[in-house]
């Protein structure tokens, strides 16, 4: 059995202040009336509609102004969400609207219903993402979400290009023919001074000794006879 009531508060999925709605009699009797969320529809209660409508207008104006200011503030923030990822940067899992709402509360003390964070699909890649916010029926905004990995990345070591090694060998081989030409020309390079290269100076060649001519027997006899 249905009964018609006048809502005195905003009830999600049912209506707002001053709305006349039909609900189950048990729901009205056991919940709405005891919680003062609605009143029975009657001629006496209809007089309260103007008051309820004014209160509703004031509430909606306040929500609009609050959400407009929040949209401006959130547009300047960068919400950091850290996740686990592999060495290749592939995430283990995804970032959801609930995770973003939790980080907003933790990092900036901003309370935002996760239903106002509009994600077509959960975020599954690292980096910066622009997330759309549906703060109010007439107010939308964006939030920058930065997803980083908690896994430290190994430093990249750049290998020496093989071309560089090849050039070095070519230069060494190119010096050898110069020494060969110098040796073949017969030119003698003067020894380096002591202390410059550490090489010992070459000694001058000694003069050959003069061999004594052996005396003949006649000369020896003549010498004795004299």
Q: What is the pLDDT of residues 180-221, one digit of tens each?
A: 444 444 444 555 444 444 545 556 556 555 555 455 555 555
Task: Please report the DSSP string for 34-77 in residue order.
Answer: TTTSEEE--HHHHTTHHHHHHHHHHHHHHHHHHHHHHHHHHTT-
pLDDT digits 0-9 by tens, 32-62: 999 999 999 888 888 888 889 898 999 999 9
CATH of 72-149 among 3.40.50.2300, 3.10.430.100, 1.10.10.10, 1.10.287.110: 3.10.430.100
Write the DSSP symbol of residue 170.
H
Element holding 99 (H helix, E strand): helix 97-108
For residues 122-139, average pLDDT: 94
Instruction: Report whether 44 contacts 111 (CB < 8 A).
Output: no
Q: To which residue do tokens 């923030």 refer? A: 77
Write the DSSP symbol of residue 116.
G
| 170 vs 56, residue with greater confidence | 56
pLDDT digits 0-9 by tens, 13-36: 899 889 999 999 999 999 999 999
Instruction: Report whether 74 contacts 143 (CB < 8 A).
Output: yes
DSSP, collapsed to helix, strand or coil, labels residue 102 as helix
- d(CA 74, CA 69) in angstroms, rounded, equals 9
pLDDT of 168 over the 60 cut: no
The class that CATH gives domain 2-47 is: alpha beta
**Burial level of 27, CB count in 10 A (0-12/13-18/19+)?**
middle
| 88 vs 21, residue with greater confidence | 21
pLDDT of 140 over the 90 cut: yes
Provide the pLDDT confidence category of residue 88 given band limits of 50, 70 and 90.
confident
- What is the predicted pLDDT for the residue at 12? 86
Break the chain into its structural domains and give their ranges: 2-47, 72-149
């Amino acid at each position: 059995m249905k009964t018609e009531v006048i809502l005195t508060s905003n009830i999600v999925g049912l209506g707002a202040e001053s709305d006349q709605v039909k609900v189950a009699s048990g729901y009205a009797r056991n919940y709405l009336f005891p919680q003062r969320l609605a009143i029975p529809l009657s001629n006496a209660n209809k007089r309260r509609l103007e008051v309820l409508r004014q209160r509703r207008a004031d509430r909606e104006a306040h929500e609009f102004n609050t959400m407009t200011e929040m949209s401006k503030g959130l547009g300047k923030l960068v919400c950091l969400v850290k996740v686990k990822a592999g060495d290749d940067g592939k995430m283990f899992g995804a970032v959801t609207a609930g995770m973003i709402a939790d980080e907003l509360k933790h990092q900036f003390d901003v309370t935002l219903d996760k239903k106002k964070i509009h994600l077509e699909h959960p975020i599954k890649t690292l980096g910066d993402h622009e997330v759309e916010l549906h703060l109010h029926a007439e107010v939308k905004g964006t939030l920058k979400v930065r997803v980083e990995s908690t896994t430290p990345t190994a430093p990249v070591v750049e290998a020496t290009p093989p071309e560089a090694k090849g050039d070095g060998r070519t230069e060494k081989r190119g010096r050898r023919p110069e020494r060969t030409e110098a040796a073949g020309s017969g030119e003698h390079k003067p020894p380096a001074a002591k202390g410059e290269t550490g090489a010992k100076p070459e000694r001058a060649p000694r003069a050959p000794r003069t061999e004594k001519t052996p005396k003949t027997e006649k000369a020896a006899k003549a010498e004795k006879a004299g």
